[in-house]
């Protein structure tokens, strides 16, 4: 999954169930996200509690437990599976003596490493600056303890020496640039307005790009990584005399930082403007029903929840006994199973 030459940082993951019961397995996804940026999981800690502690988010007993675990595992970073305020990060870093990251920071770091297009980079920078602005409370200087500097990548991070006012100016400038990008895209979308627009949506790693490549032969980067795709790619498709355009786009994830949704307006426009959504689901993932709900929630948040949707259960090769719900299709984009049926359904729906 990552370059072997790079030595990983060693991370302890912390999950907090507030009014819900979590187990260490609930940290599987965060562990994958961490692996994507060279953070190797060496310990997992869960605390279920009624409310958030004002100083540390978790209780002081748990803080002590993590401290012991750091000593035992040689961990050099602690990653929380929740969004932390700047003051809690500082308090935790002072108590633990190692850098503390939260889930949003890890996701933003992956995006910073992945962004390819000019618009993609602008969007990541904007998301990073918006995330960092309320958290500029004097760094503890602990980041130098990390080998790979997760959370330090991307243009948005380099500008942190600037003071708040300059960062606000920078955010305004980026918003203007992105408004231009959005305008250009709107024109492009209008020019295609006589065509049907189909957009692939779904949880990250569900197989959108693999299916896109199969249907279009476009050669989009598809990999067993979270957030392999960041930019949108659109191709024209001709199906039995009907024309439509198909778009591959960024995947969704639980607790997507809201800075991300706001910053990725231009990208998400493509989804909002679609006539049909192909909602790709990894039916071999035991969490797939929860993932469907997360994707539908994001679609609701961006105003794309009224667009007709065809649910495409992918990776059926890894779950052959899967019972396909009515109105959905089951495929394997890798083994090319069920593709004709899928095309027929798309044909009927456009």
Ligand X SMILES: Nc1nc2c(ncn2[C@@H]2O[C@H](COP(=O)(O)OP(=O)(O)OP(=O)(O)O)[C@@H](O)[C@H]2O)c(=O)[nH]1
Let me know: does 309 contact 274? Beta carbons within 8 Å. no
Let me know: does 89 contact 117? Beta carbons within 8 Å. no
Of ligand X, Mg ion, none, which one sits near residue 329, judging by CB under 5 to 8 A according to partner kind? none
Q: Which of 43, 99, 154, 207 binds ligand X (CB under 6 A)?
A: 207
What minimum distance in Å lies between the beta carbon of 220 and ligand X? 8
Q: How far apart are CA 63 and CA 12, in angstroms?
A: 12
Residues 6+ apart with CB under 8 A from 255: 81, 82, 83, 103, 104
Applying CB under 5 A, the span of 2-10, 44-52, 120-128, 223-231 interacting with Mg ion comes to 223-231
Which residues, listed in sequence order, are joined to residue 41 by a DSSP beta bridge? 11
Q: How far apart are CA 92 and CA 106, in angstroms?
A: 17
Which parts of 172-191 interact with Mg ion (CB under 5 A)? none
345 binds ligand X (CB under 6 A): no
Of ligand X, Mg ion, none, which one sits near residue 224, judging by CB under 5 to 8 A according to partner kind? ligand X
Which parts of 229-288 interact with ligand X (CB under 6 A)? 229, 251
What minimum distance in Å lies between the beta carbon of 208 and Mg ion? 5
What minimum distance in Å lies between the beta carbon of 61 and Mg ion? 42
Which parts of 304-343 interact with ligand X (CB under 6 A)? 314-315, 317-318, 332-334
Q: Comparing C-alpha atoms, which of 44, 148, 53, 146 is closest to residue 99?
A: 146
Toward ligand X, which CB reaches closer, 169 or 289? 289
Torsion of CA 131, 136, 140, 144, to 10 degrees: 50
Q: Which of 31, 213, 229, 232 binds Mg ion (CB under 5 A)?
A: 229
Q: How far apart are CA 100 and CA 336, in angstroms?
A: 43
Q: How far apart are CA 200 and CA 229, in angstroms?
A: 12
What minimum distance in Å lies between the beta carbon of 260 and ligand X? 13
Residues that bind ligand X (CB under 6 A): 202, 204-210, 222-224, 226-229, 251, 314-315, 317-318, 332-334
């Amino acid at each position: 999954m990552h370059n072997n030459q790079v030595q990983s940082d060693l991370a302890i993951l912390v999950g907090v169930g507030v009014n819900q019961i979590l187990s260490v397995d609930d940290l599987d996804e965060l562990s994958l996200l961490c692996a994507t940026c060279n953070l190797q999981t060496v310990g997992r800690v869960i605390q279920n509690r009624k409310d958030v502690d004002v100083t540390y988010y978790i209780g002081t007993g748990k803080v002590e437990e993590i401290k012991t675990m750091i000593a035992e595992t040689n961990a050099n970073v602690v990653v929380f599976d929740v969004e932390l305020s700047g003051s809690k990060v500082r308090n935790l870093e002072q108590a633990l003596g190692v850098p503390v990251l939260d889930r949003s920071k890890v996701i933003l770091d992956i995006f910073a490493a992945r962004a390819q297009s000019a618009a993609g980079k602008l969007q990541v920078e904007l998301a990073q600056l918006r995330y960092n602005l309320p958290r500029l409370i004097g760094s503890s200087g602990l980041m130098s303890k990390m080998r790979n500097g997760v959370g330090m990548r991307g243009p948005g991070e380099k500008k942190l020496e600037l003071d708040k006012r300059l960062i606000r100016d920078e955010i305004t400038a980026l918003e203007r640039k992105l408004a231009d990008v959005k305008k250009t895209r709107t024109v492009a979308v209008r020019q295609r307005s006589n065509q049907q627009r189909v957009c692939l949506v779904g949880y990250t790693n569900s197989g959108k790009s693999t299916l896109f490549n199969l249907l279009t032969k476009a050669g989009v980067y598809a990999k067993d990584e979270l957030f392999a795709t960041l930019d949108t790619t659109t191709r024209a498709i001709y199906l039995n005399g009907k024309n439509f355009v198909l778009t591959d786009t960024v995947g969704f994830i639980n607790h997507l930082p809201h800075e991300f949704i706001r910053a990725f307006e231009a990208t998400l426009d493509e989804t909002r403007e679609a006539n049909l959504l192909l909602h790709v689901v990894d039916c071999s993932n035991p969490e797939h029903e929860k993932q469907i709900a997360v994707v539908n929630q994001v679609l609701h948040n961006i105003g794309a929840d009224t667009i007709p949707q065809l649910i495409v259960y992918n990776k059926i090769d890894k779950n052959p006994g899967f019972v396909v719900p009515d109105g959905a299709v089951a495929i394997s984009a890798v083994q090319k199973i069920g593709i004709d049926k899928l095309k027929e359904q798309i044909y009927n729906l456009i």
